[in-house]
C-alpha cells in the first residue's frame, strides 16, 4: 500500500522502525508518471516490511524543503528518521528494489 504523505502526516509516518521509501513527485512531471506505478507496485510487494509513500511537491512545501528536494522525481530511503539513500530521476523497478533489499 502506498501512503499519500502530507506536511501534516510526515512526522507520523517517520515514527516507524521500518524502512520508509518516499517518492517526491508532481502531477505535471512526466518522469514522475513513469515511476508512479513502480512505486505503487513496491508498496504492495513490500507492504509488510517497508512503508512506501508519495509526497506531492506542489502541495507540501514543508516536506519538500525539509529534504532539500530540487529535482523530481526524487525517491528517499529513510531509516530511523535519517536519509540513508536516494534516487533522482526515473529508473527501472530493479533500481528501487535493489536499494530496498540492501537496506532491509
Domain ranges of the chain: 2-103
Residue 1 is predicted with a pLDDT of 83
Contact predicate 16/71, CB 8 Å: no
pLDDT of residue 27: 96
pTM of this prediction?
A: 0.95
Q: Which residues contact 9 (CB under 8 A, 6 or more apart)?
A: 3
Q: What is the pLDDT of residue 21?
A: 98
> Using CA atoms, how far apart are residues 14 and 99, in angstroms rounded to an integer?
18
Q: Please give the average per-residue pLDDT across 69-91, as a whole number.
A: 96
pLDDT score, position 46: 96
The 3 state secondary structure assigned to 8-48 is: CCHHHHCCCCCEEEEEEECCCCHHHHHHHHHHHHHHHHCCC
Q: Which residue numbers are catalytic?
A: 29, 32
Give the contacts of 91 (CB within 8 A, at least 6 positions apart).
35
Q: Are 99 and 50 in contact (CB under 8 A)?
A: no
Which pLDDT score is estimated for 38? 97
Q: Which CATH superfamily is domain 2-103 in?
A: Glutaredoxin (3.40.30.10)
Q: What is the pLDDT of residues 15-73, one digit of tens each?
A: 999 999 999 999 999 999 999 999 999 999 999 999 999 999 999 999 999 999 999 99
pLDDT (mean) for 75-84? 96
Amino acid at each position: 500500500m502506498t501512503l499519500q504523505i502530507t506536511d501534516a502526516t510526515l512526522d507520523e509516518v517517520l515514527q516507524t522502525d521500518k524502512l520508509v521509501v518516499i517518492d517526491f513527485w508532481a502531477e505535471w512531471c512526466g518522469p514522475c508518471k513513469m515511476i508512479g506505478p513502480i512505486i505503487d507496485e513496491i508498496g504492495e510487494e513490500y507492504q509488510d516490511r517497508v512503508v512506501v509513500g508519495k509526497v506531492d511537491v506542489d502541495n507540501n512545501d514543508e516536506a519538500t524543503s525539509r529534504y532539500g528536494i530540487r529535482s523530481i522525481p526524487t525517491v528517499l530511503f529513510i531509516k530511523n528518521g535519517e536519509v540513508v539513500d536516494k534516487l533522482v530521476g526515473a529508473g527501472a523497478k530493479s533500481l528501487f528494489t535493489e536499494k530496498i533489499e540492501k537496506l532491509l
